[in-house]
Structure 1
Amino acid sequence: MISHPLARGALHDIVDELAALLLAASCAGCAKPGALLCAVCRRQLTPSPTQTVTPDGLVVRAALAFDGVAARCIRRLKGEGETLLARPLGRTLAEPLVAEVVSGVLIVPVPTSRSAFRQRGYRVPELLARGAGVRASRILVPGATKADQRGLDVRERRANVSGSIRTRRRGEGQRIALLDDVVTTGATLDEAARVLTEAGFEVVSAIALAATPRHRRLIGDSSATRRK
């Protein structure tokens, strides 16, 4: 079932801001007291679609650039337990995710590592899907333990993620759209796509909340090529 995140967004915003007020929260974007997100920072989360291409040629559509207000909000969500931010951040993904679901595509999040789940207690891509009002299919699960990706170059990241993802079941040609929170080099998405393809699924697209600036291109950039 697909709920409509935009129709319910205003009510959720009111509830979230009341909770933020009771908890004496500060704006995740600018640290202004008394709000989960102030009006100015909410406007900074208006989708600005870009795309990046992974080393294996998978085109990834990203709603935001990983900088400024967006980066600060994502860090609060991922590193500081601010799960209420999954609603406004997830809504930036509503349009592309709902479009995929309507066309019969399954939304499959990139799996959260076991260590990250133990630390956080939640899976960020799944929270984002919920914030966007779509149901995610947990077809992928963590495989072998991988090292922290931070500080690794493209080659090191590809080696690091090898074997780190596995599928829970075989596919029968079902079409898949991968979902991730932040795409840097795309090595994790490539590994997820490889595992799904070998299991009998068809990966038709990848969608991310944000892309790091050095890897993103504006939608429509002719230098980006689609996966063959």
Structure 2
Amino acid sequence: MTGWVRALREAVLDASALVAPVDCAGCSAPDRALCPACRAALHPSPRSAVLRAPAGAPPLPVVAGLAYEGVARAAILALKQEGRTELARTLAPALLVAADRGWAAFGRADALLVPVPGSPEAARQRGFHPAALLARRAGLAPRPLLRLADAGDGPQKGRALAERLDADRRISTGRRLDGCAVVLLDDVVTSGATLLAAAAALRGAGALVLGAVALAATPRRVGSAAVEWSTGPAAGIPSAPPSSAAIPSGSRTDASRMRMGEPLTHAPPGD
């Protein structure tokens, strides 16, 4: 960013702060949605993992753009809990980096990006779906093909992985998706139970689930709900697609079309 552009941006932010006072979501400094230091802390730091479900279900490779800690955690919570949607544009580059790495590894430029569903109650309270909003700010085109069949059984925090999976079996899709390649989308991955349940629902509808991308990943914990994240290539996620599944010529154009929200080649009927 050139000096005059930076100065102009700061002047616009100063003027905006007079009209609508705001504090930094990361450190509470006045007059900025994110101060320069906290903005810099959101530089993408991609990581990957492979989620493994019980009972022999296929593993699910995942790529996330940030660690869910520090400034990233504070900004995501401000977005989700305080409705500070202005933060989505600053968080979006990390999601886009995760999506780019995911598509390169999964090897299908025509895959549909499908957000995991949030609860209807949360959607009514917020007025937006966090992961879908972040995707749109990143220039991606999420397809809401999943839904919650009922209100569920309360929060997931503190549950073992098997309990989380049982609670998330309410995820369903109302149509057949035979032959559709799908990449799942989430905002924050903790145990991965919601992603695994969403993958199972999509496979049940005939979709080919390639993997998942997310904005942030909770650092490794202990116990059955722990996920081992790696900032290098993870087992099961190639750093480049194998020759048998190479991304075809022109795939970047296809990916750009998807990001701009234009129709995809293999969109399911009725979408």
Q: TM > 0.5 between the two?
A: yes
Is 1:200 the equivalent of 2:206?
yes
The structure that has the greater radius of gyration is 2
Deviates more, 1:38-47 or 1:137-146: 137-146
Is 1:54 the equivalent of 2:51?
yes
Instruction: Return the match for 2:20 from 20, 23, 27.
Output: 23
Contact in 2 for aligned 1:16/1:84 (Cα 8 Å) = no
TM-superposition CA deviations, 1:50-88 (whole Å, max 9, x none): 123323221211100010000000110111111111111
Q: 1:211 to 1:45 in 2, by over 3 A?
A: same
DSSP 3-state at the match of 2:172: strand
CA distance in 2, matches of 1:124, 1:38: 22
Q: 1:211 to 1:104 in 2, by over 3 A?
A: same
Contact in 2 for aligned 1:108/1:138 (Cα 8 Å) = yes
Instruction: Return the match for 1:151 from 143, 154, 158.
Output: 158
Instruction: Return the match for 2:135 from 129, 133, 136.
Output: 129
CA distance in 2, matches of 1:168, 1:157: 22
Contact in 2 for aligned 1:171/1:200 (Cα 8 Å) = yes
In structure 2, the residue matched to 1:189 is 195
Structure 2 residue ranges without an equivalent (≥5) = 1-5, 54-58, 221-226, 238-271
In structure 2, the residue matched to 1:90 is 92
| Deviation, structure 1 residue 219 | 3.4
In structure 2, the residue matched to 1:64 is 66
DSSP 3-state at the match of 1:73: helix
Percent of residue pairs bearing the same amino acid type = 42
DSSP 3-state at the match of 1:152: coil
DSSP 3-state at the match of 1:92: helix
TM-score under structure 2 length normalisation = 0.72
In structure 2, the residue matched to 1:217 is 229
| Deviation, structure 1 residue 98 | 5.3
| Deviation, structure 1 residue 177 | 0.8
TM-superposition CA deviations, 1:88-124 (whole Å, max 9, x none): 1122112343573981111111111112112211100
TM-score under structure 1 length normalisation = 0.85
Structure 1 residue ranges without an equivalent (≥5) = 1-9
DSSP 3-state at the match of 2:216: strand
Contact in 1 for aligned 2:94/2:215 (Cα 8 Å) = yes
In structure 2, the residue matched to 1:77 is 79
Q: 1:156 to 1:132 in 2, by over 3 A?
A: same
Contact in 2 for aligned 1:55/1:187 (Cα 8 Å) = no
CA distance in 1, matches of 2:24, 2:115: 27
CA distance in 2, matches of 1:191, 1:15: 47
Instruction: Return the match for 1:104 from 110, 118, 127.
Output: 110
Deviating above 6 A after TM superposition, structure 1's stretches of 4 or more consecutive aligned residues are 13-16
DSSP 3-state at the match of 2:179: coil
Matched to 1:152, the amino acid is R
Deviates more, 1:96-105 or 1:212-221: 96-105
> What is the RMSD of the two structures over their aligned residues, measured on CA atoms?
2.3
Q: 1:120 to 1:189 in 2, by over 3 A?
A: same
DSSP 3-state at the match of 2:121: helix
Deviates more, 1:94-103 or 1:153-162: 94-103
